[in-house]
Amino acid sequence: MKAMEMFEKDYLKKGKDIPKFEIGDTVKVHHKIVEAGKERIQVYQGIVIRMKGTGVNKNFTVRKVSFSVGVEKTFFVHSPRVDKVEVTKHSKVRRAKLYYLRNLSGKSARLKERLATKKESK
């Protein structure tokens, strides 16, 4: 396993480049999109409902409701296409995977806001 970790190290982001957020956070993902040879950044905003994997495979899923249709996008944390992740809101959540939000809509699909901890506000 050590050999694999050593190999993956080159593809990991370092220090400040690693996006920091928690499950239930409302985030803005700055996603690089290449279209017709041009690169632009698209901002995708939603709630982080899942984090999965380790090392290079670490990924997270962001859910939002767009025109009353639920949309989920999965990003790799260490992908060069993920430019940065901004946290706009923290929420009080009691589980690691928020799949239950898929079955809820409207007012009940909201999460209770919580204030940032000292560590997070740094």
Partner 1 sequence: MISGLIGKKLGMTRIFDDKGNVIPVTLLEVGPCTVVQVKSSSGKDGYGAVQLGFEPKKLEKVNKPYAGHFKKAGIKTAFRHLCEFRTAKEEALAVGDELTAEQVFKENTIVKVQGTSIGRGFAGGMKRHGFHGSPSSHGAEKVHRRPMSAGSTDAQRVFKGKRSPGHMGDQSVTIRNLKLVKIKALDAGVEEPEELKNIPAQETAEAQGAETAPEGKEKKKSEVAKAKGRKYVVAVKGAIPGKKNSLVIIENL
Q: Contact residues for partner 1 (CB under 8 A)? A: 3-4, 6-8, 10-11, 32, 34, 55-57, 76, 78-81
Q: Compare residues 57 and 117 and give the one whose CB is closer to partner 1.
A: 57
Q: Compare residues 74 and 117 and give the one whose CB is closer to partner 1.
A: 74
Largest CA-CA distance found in the chain, in angstroms, rounded: 49
* Minimum distance from residue 85 beta carbon to partner 1 (Å): 15
Ordered DSSP codes for 32-58: EEEETTEEEEEEEEEEEEEEE-SGGG-
* Minimum distance from residue 10 beta carbon to partner 1 (Å): 7
54: which residues sit within 8 A by CB, 6+ positions away? none
* Minimum distance from residue 34 beta carbon to partner 1 (Å): 7
18: which residues sit within 8 A by CB, 6+ positions away? 77, 78
Q: Compare residues 63 and 78 and give the one whose CB is closer to partner 1.
A: 78
Residue 52: name the closest of 71, 72, 81 by CA: 72
* Minimum distance from residue 11 beta carbon to partner 1 (Å): 5
